[in-house]
Amino acid sequence: MISTNKHLLTYLHHYPLVFLILFLHVLNFICHAEDHSTNLSKNKAWNHSVSAILIFGDSTADPGNNNYIQTPFKSNFPPYGRDFMDQIPTGRFTNGRLANDFVAKYIGVKENVPPYLDPTLGIEELMTGVSFASAGSGFDPLTPRISNVISLSKQLDYFKVYQSRLEAAIGKKRTKHLIKNALFFVSAGTNDFVVNYFTVPIRRKSYNLPTYMAFLLQQVQLFMQGLWDEGARRIGMAGLPPMGCLPIVITINAISRRGCIDFFSAVAREYNIMLLNELSAMQFRLANIGARIAYMDIYGPLADMTQGHKFGFAEVSSGCCGTGLLETAFLCNPTSFVCPDASKYVFFDSIHPTEKTYSIIFQSLQPTVDYILRD
């Protein structure tokens, strides 16, 4: 043993650089192992403190509820879902996963969030969370009627039925505990402007932009109160994206060159400020009785992608499907041309982001998710 140590000291004396490199490699390995252990512990901790994920909203959160209703707003056919597991077009308006799928995996409740209307869902699947969202929906009651989709109020009704189903299976006490410890995620509002206010003249006859925003916030208040009354305590609500950067908005409104149209993005910024203030006021009022309500910024990361040209995207103003200028839903179909690599595009069709975009949005939202779930 003494001889071995002597030889080792002699070796280190003659080859100090080799020793330094070896030492740094070992240190790097230890640090990575600790980071990995910390991340596993973090996810494990979230898994213990979060019972389920429950989603409400529009196409940014709908994993396929529209498959089960009579509406043209569907995406349960190729090329949608081409990069999803087994290349299955589930009804998600993208090539792969949505942001809430990444959130579900991060908090440790499930890999992907299923649609509530799927008749094959068993009680175990229901217990860990579902999405009630419907592509084409919005806070304005008129918006879902335009597309014949599921309104936010109907989604809330489905949530009540969902609780009754859980109570029948696991009892009222366990159901109440599950709802209290669930993460609620709401993503809606874009259709209220893009599909409704700026396209159909009905609301513009009664509201200018400031009063329409105030009207939408009243609907947000009603919906949030409904969630609260049904036991929701941890709620994240997404704001609007830079609407002027949506390919379809650019196509319809651009005069010459393709590029983000600031008028529509400015509307989104103003609305987001009002929404942030409203959610902050709710959090202040309800904090002492267990609320954790937060605004989730999607405008910032999408603006960075479309205007700041960050994250290495090759195409930021048109979608991967078809011409990328107008196609969405049934116009983006099995006969459409599709780009070879969707990860180089911010948008998959003329409205909806690619899986890569949703992944980046999720990463930007992680601190907010952590805040909502923090004890």
Catalytic residues: 59, 349, 352
DSSP secondary structure letters along 198-241: TTSSHHHHH--HHHHHHHHHHHHHHHHHHHHHTT--EEEEE---
Under 8 Å between Cβ of 237 and 152? no
Cβ neighbours of residue 176 closer than 8 Å, sequence gap 6 or more: 231
Under 8 Å between Cβ of 130 and 61? no
One-letter identity of residue 98: L
Rg of the chain, C-alpha, whole Å? 24
- Helix segments in 148-208, DSSP class H: 152-170, 172-180, 190-191, 202-206
Under 8 Å between Cβ of 348 and 97? no
Cβ neighbours of residue 50 closer than 8 Å, sequence gap 6 or more: 107, 108, 109, 181, 182, 183, 373
